[in-house]
Chains A and B, each alone.
Chain A
């Protein structure tokens, strides 16, 4: 009985997402290092190619600087440095995901952007407690898709130190 219920719920959830084209539970999947990460699509403003960044002195190292986005000044953080990964040179695949956080636009440099994926609540689970990598600190949820596990991050954690 119980299982039937959850199945129904699942079906309903899927149907709602398909019909209403809602942006809830949809995630933008991108790659940093070897891992695939996902952030909520609702806060993503746009995705742009990497552009020259003006360095701002006396700021944390992951804060790469500011860019001019059609007249708006946008701060840029590099996820590789934020996750304490080895820095690599930016290439054609490097992208800046511009998200809107508390009314302010902030850009996130990632290695590569893939697609938007729907991940139902049922397919989400907390990460294993073992914290092997520093980037684990930012991952609060794992999302299971057909082929891969997506590390879902909350951008607030990315932007602000605890």
Chain B
């Protein structure tokens, strides 16, 4: 395989493994220390897929680790042991997950996979051993024998276990070793006394033609032997020049396949490299499923990729398991679009024959047609089933985010140019009936494109939320606390760019909650609280924003401690007693602020909450802390749905046009001079309906010598956030407009009070006012 191929495959591999590992992690965390059959099956399936793909990519470490884990779950599944140390197994699987993640990360950086894994391997194996010991089930480590045992218990009717195990080995010789036929013969010779009933492919080993066959397809040998698999392996490996040995035990039931299935598979459009996927599909099949034939034959031929993409991939399998079981296994295939499993015709034919015997001929015909009916029905049922599969697997393709960003930018440009054309100053005063009509249509279409592009970028918060499960679990085990994380509204969607900035803040807040908030179980009991603490992670839509609320039922923030620390750090900007509770809690978001006397491995450095604040500021969000002493605390993150396109209100100051995001404006009104009051410091305030608000004159705020000074000439905008309201004085309102937010060039350092700029219909630039600047921190 040349490098290019491998690169493409590696990329897909990393991507797919990433998805699988995340899935696995979630499964482990959701089941929370108790596995039912379904979970075990799912874990088993994921492990199996990872193992298959890794071995295809020749990543031994991954293959071995996942194989060992698979063994563990195989044991759980087959024996249903009663004494299981669930937390231990979860720990181990999570460790495996971490291991795989690290390996994937180093793959991504094109590093070698040289992380040692003996320790982990040993852990898994010991765990399996302990399990077996505790449940008094045969101590034989060899997993193959285990299968046999299980089969004996479960499938006694079907399987006659032969007393002497039969093995199948596929041997590849090193390139350039020459005379492969002779070497193969040596292998047979070496087996000599221990093996009986030997059959080989190619049959006549010493034939000159066999050289080529062995060189390309390997040397296949089957034999009976009463030695166990390791002994056999050692004997086989005595032969020189062996490059690769694939040894497995064949179970007698393999030869008595009860069921033969026709399986037809189609992969999702655009999943690429269909031939490789088909190959993975085959190599991922469990031991007890044997491939009888497949179409197309040579999967590694690239030309077949298109064939499979267009016509699908069909394979005849024989196995002892039922159709449902087979289906379940096959459904685990990634990028599966369409799966059809038909029992092979001869079985149906047999059924028909059976019905014949008891009926006479005329009825036979009817019966035949009936059975044809039923078989047709069967087909329909099957096709219904496949329909279902079709529905459950979504038609999605992976798109590079940069392409989406580019598309969004282009749509932004489109919105602007549309405005430039339809609001072109040259059109002013003209009677344009049809033009107006058509441009309205254009506006509508562009609006829909914009909406679609935006929705393409929307991602549910779920995966980010579920990652928190892991943090909660890890911390609980280390701090010996018991916390239940409840997730609400994980289907809430936000823009991809924003989600990237949410994960870290969430992590820090939850860490803080567990470390400082939630008390130890004993303390909780003494406070008349349930032993288990609860953290609720909730997301919901609220207007143009998404609110993420993290609530815990712990001790709450210590107001006095925070205030004391704030005074010590010189953070106060007004007299101490003027601070409201909420304002005091806000101090926890200051950089380097920590009330912890000791630094633990989780918190105390005062960095975490600062990260929350900076990240939130970056995406234009806000964060509010609240707490009830002894009852718990809550932190609310308010984040905008999207960064790029917002509804804006255009206002004028002199001849400069500024934009205020509409969602921040509560209302606008004219006020008269008599409503203006001044506080002792000379700050201007305005009285509206009996309430007094701070008045900010935009021209003085920005140091401009333009705009009205007489309050009665201009207009006042009331802006509000969660807790405060301020009034803004401007000359006039120009109108509402959808605006595409553009950054102010980096060269101009961040200007307080501005969040960006936008292009207006006539090509002019309007600066966007950052409303948050007017509110007290």
Contacts and interface: CB of A to CB of B under 8 A. Distances in A.
Interface of A: 52, 54-59, 63, 66-68, 71, 73-75, 101, 104-106, 159
Given A57-B703, A57-B751, A58-B702, A66 B746 contact: no
Contacts of A56: 744, 748, 751, 754, 767
A71 B757 contact: no
Nearest to A57: B702
Given A66-B765, A68-B759, A73 B745 contact: yes
B758 to A, nearest CB: 9
A68 B763 contact: yes
A59 B759 contact: no
Contact of B765 (A59, A73, A104, A105): A73
Nearest to B416: A71
A106 B744 CA distance: 12
Nearest to A103: B746
Given A73-B744, A75-B747, A54 B759 contact: no
- Interface of A, secondary structure class, is strand
Contacts of B742: 73
Contacts of A63: 748
A75 B749 CA distance: 11
B379 to A, nearest CB: 58
A60 B630 CA distance: 51
A75 B742 CA distance: 13
B752 interface: yes
A58 B656 CA distance: 14
Contacts, number: 61
Interface string B739-777: 000111111110111100101000111110000000000
Contacts of B764: 52, 54, 68
Contacts of B8: none
A66 B745 contact: yes
Nearest to B759: A68
Contact of A58 (B745, B752, B765): B752
Interface of B: 413, 416, 656, 702-704, 742-749, 751-754, 757, 759, 763-767
B416 A104 contact: no
Contacts of B767: 54, 56-57
A66 B757 contact: yes
Query: In the complex, which of the residues B744, B745, B754, B766 has the most CB atoms of chain A within 10 Å of its own CB atom?
Result: B745
Nearest to B757: A73
B217 to A, nearest CB: 56
Given A52-B764, A54-B656, A71-B759, 18 more contacts: A54-B757, A54-B766, A54-B767, A56-B744, A57-B704, A57-B753, A58-B753, A66-B748, A66-B757, A67-B765, A68-B759, A68-B763, A73-B757, A74-B745, A75-B745, A101-B747, A105-B745, A159-B747
11 contacts: A54-B757, A54-B766, A59-B748, A63-B748, A71-B416, A73-B743, A73-B745, A74-B745, A75-B748, A104-B745, A104-B747
Contacts of A67: 765
B746 A58 contact: no
A120 to B, nearest CB: 32
Nearest to B750: A58
Nearest to B752: A58
